[in-house]
Amino acid sequence: MPKFEYAPAPESRAVVDLQSSYGLFINGEFVDGSGASFKSISPATEEVLAEVSVASDADVDAAVKAARTAYTRVWSRMSGADRGKYLYRIARILQERAREFAVLESLDNGKPIKESRDVDIPLAAAHFFYNAGWADKLGYAALPGGANPQPHGVVGQIIPWNFPMLMLSWKIAPALATGNTVVLKPAETTPLTALLFAEVCQQADLPPGVVNIVTGAGPTGQAIVDHPGIDKLAFTGSTGVGKMIARAISGTRKKATLELGGKAANIVFDDAPIDQAVEGIVRGIFFNQGHVCCAGSRLLVQETIAEEVESRLKRRLETLRVGDPLDKNTDVGAINSKAQLDRIIALTDVGEAEGAERWDNGCELPSKGFWFRPTVFTGVSQTHRIAQEEVFGPVLSVLTFRTPQEAVAKANNTPYGLSAGIWTEKGSRILWMADQLKAGVVWANTFNQFDPTSPFGGYKESGYGREGGRHGLEPYVKGTH
Ligand code: NAI
Ligand code: MG
C-alpha cells in the first residue's frame, strides 16, 4: 500500500505560558508546598516542563479545611442556579482557552494534538456545560433525596494520567453541580492542565476553597483517602489502588466511587462491514496509545472472516503515523511514562513467551522519549496473560469465535466488565448480545464514543458507580455510594 509523505505540521507551543515551577492551589491561591517537588516531563522528548510541589499531609489537611469552610460558608448556601452560573462560566473559559489546554495536554501527556484538540478538551468543556444545566434542576433528576437532594460535603478526587483534563471534568463538574466542594489530585506524570484549570477557577471568580488542587504521587493520594474530613471519594485508576482505597475506607462513613481497569472485547461478526469494523478496531485500541480503561484490547473475530480482518487491519496499521504529539498529522503519540512503557514491554514479552504470534507495524520511532509500535498478537488463547490483563498500551490481542454464544462466553471471561463493542448488520443480535455482555457500556458498530449525557462505569473489578449523565450526579448526593 503506498504511504503518503506528510510535511511536518506542528502546532505552536507559543500559546502555552509555562511557568518553571508550580505551587498547590489551596483556598483560591497558589501556595508553596511544605514538602519536596517533582518534575513533570514531556514523554515525547523527556524535556522537563515544570517543577511541581508534592503536597504533604499538612498541605492536604489545609486543602480539606479550605474545602470545608467554603462548603459550609458559601457553596452549600448558594442556590443551584448560582452554582450553575459558575459552571457555565468555567465551561465557556475552557472553550475560549481550548487551544492552550490542548497543547499543554499533549506536551505533558504525550497524546496527539488531534485528540486533545478534538476529543479531550471539547468533551471536558461539554461536561461542565452539561452539569451546569443540572445544577438548578436537581429536584427533577430522580436522585435520592427526591425534590431536595443533599450534597455529601467535601469530596476527595484522585485521577489518572490517561485523560487528565477530561477526568478532571468528569470529577469536578458533577461534584460542584450538586453542591459539594473538592480536593483533587491529578496524576504525577500529568499535573499541568489541572494547574491551568486552577487559573480558570480564579478567572471565573469561583469562591476560594470550592476547588483545591493538590499535586503529588501515591502518598499524597493516600493522605486524601485517609483524611477524616473527607466525606466522599472518587477515584479513577488501577484496580490495585482501587482495592486499597476500598479497604482503607471500609468501616468509615466515607463513600466512594471507583472507576478501574478494563479488558474490553470488540466483537466482529461475519456480516459486519469490514472496512468500518477495521476503523472501529483501530479507534478501539490505538486511540490515546491504548491508554484507555475501556479500550477494545481483545478483538473477537468470527472465524470465517478472521484472516481477512487481520490482513486488512495490518494494512491499515501500516498507515498509522507515530511520532510528535504536537504534529497535527500524528495518529499515535508517546507512551505516557517510562514506567508504563516498561509494563507494556514486560507484558508483551510474556505474550510472545506464552506462544502468541507478535506483529508490529514496523514504523520508525523517535530516538528520545517513550514509544511503542502499534502491535497485534494473533493466535491468542483465553488463558494468555495478554488476554486477561490490562496492557494499557497500543497492543491488540486477537481471538476467534464461531457462534454468538461462544463470543459472549469469551467476552465475559475476564475479571473486568467496563465496555464492549459489537459489529454486525443484525439489530436483533446487537440487542441480544448487549443483554448478555457483562459490561457497563456496549457500543454497536462504533467504539470509544463518549458523551456527557451518557453514563459510564463498570461491573466486577472495573469498579462501581457511574459517571456522566443523570446517573453521574447520584454518587455526589447523600443516600448512595
Ligand atoms: P495508579 O492507580 O497508581 O494511579 C492513578 C492515580 O492514583 C494517580 O493519581 C496516583 O498518584 C494515585 N495513587 C497511586 N497510589 C495511590 C494510593 N495508595 N492512594 C491514593 N492514590 C494513589 O495507576 P498507575 O500506576 O499510573 O498505572 C498502573 C496501571 O493501572 C496501568 O498500567 C493501567 O493498567 C491501570 N490504569 C488504569 C486507568 C484507568 O483509567 N482505569 C488509569 C491509569 C492506570
Ligand atoms: Mg508529564
**pLDDT per residue as tens digits for the range 254-299:** 999 999 999 999 999 999 999 999 999 999 999 999 999 999 999 9
3-class DSSP state of 340: helix
Instruction: Assign 255 to helix, strand or coil.
Output: strand
* 128 backbone dihedrals φ, ψ, rounded to 5°: -70, -45
Q: Which ligand is nearest to the CA of 111?
A: 2
Q: Which three cell numbers stand for residue 207?
A: 469562591
Specify the pLDDT at position 35. 83
Beta strand ranges found along 285-444 (DSSP E): 298-302, 357-360, 375-378, 395-401, 419-423, 441-444
Query: What's the distance, CA 243 to chain centroid?
Result: 18
Can you list the residues of the chain whose pLDDT is less than 50? none
Whole-prediction pTM: 0.98
- Tens of pLDDT along 445-463? 999 999 999 999 999 999 9
The continuous run of DSSP H or E covering 26 comes out as strand 24-26
Query: Does residue 198 line the site of ligand 1, with CB under 6 A?
Result: no
- 293 is annotated as an active-site residue: yes
What pLDDT is stored for residue 5 in this prediction? 82
Q: Which residues of 364-374 are buried (b: 16+ CB within 10 A; e: fewer)?
A: eeeeebbbbbb
Instruction: Output the pLDDT for position 2.
Output: 54
Can you read off the three cell numbers belonging to residue 76?
A: 452549600
Contact criterion met (CB below 8 Å) for 171 and 182: yes
Closest CA to 131 of 72, 182, 96, 183: 182
For residue 136, the SS3 value is coil
The 10s digit of each residue's pLDDT in 201-259 is: 999 999 999 999 999 999 999 999 999 999 999 999 999 999 999 999 999 999 999 99
In ligand 1, the atom with minimum distance to the C-alpha of 337 is: 26
Superfamily of domain 13-260+462-476: Aldehyde Dehydrogenase; Chain A, domain 1 (3.40.605.10)
Residue written as grid cell 455526589 = 476
Residue 217 CA, closest ligand 1 atom number:
11
C-alpha cell at 435: 443483554
Which residues belong to CATH 3.40.605.10 in the chain? 13-260+462-476
Taking all residues of the chain, what is their mean pLDDT, rounded to a whole number? 97
State residue 209 phi and psi, 5-degree precision.
90, -15
Long-range contacts, stretch 223-228, CB < 8 angstroms, 24+ apart? 223/55, 223/56, 223/57, 223/60, 223/61, 224/60, 224/64, 224/156, 224/158, 224/183, 224/185, 225/156, 225/158, 225/249, 227/60, 227/61, 227/64, 227/156
Q: What is the CATH number of domain 265-452?
A: 3.40.309.10
Q: What is the DSSP string of 264-302?
A: -EEEE-TTS-HHHHHHHHHHHHHGGGG--TT---EEEEE
Q: From the CA of 417, how far away is ligand 1's center (Å)? A: 18
46 flagged as catalytic: no
Residues 193 and 103 sit within 8 Å (Cβ to Cβ): no
> What per-residue confidence (pLDDT) applies to 480?
62
> Which residue of the set 11, 115, 188, 259 is catalytic?
259
Q: Which ligand has the shortest distance to the CA of 168? A: 1
Indicate where the chain has its CATH 3.40.309.10 domain(s). 265-452
Q: What is the pLDDT of residue 119?
A: 98
Rg of the chain on CA atoms, in Å: 22
Pocket mutation for ligand 1, best pick of 220, 224, 241 (most atoms within 8 Å of C-beta): 241
Residues 299, 305, 307, 311: is their CA dihedral positive or negative?
negative
Establish how many alpha carbons lie within 13 A of residue 395's alpha carbon, considering only the half-sphere containing its beta carbon. 30
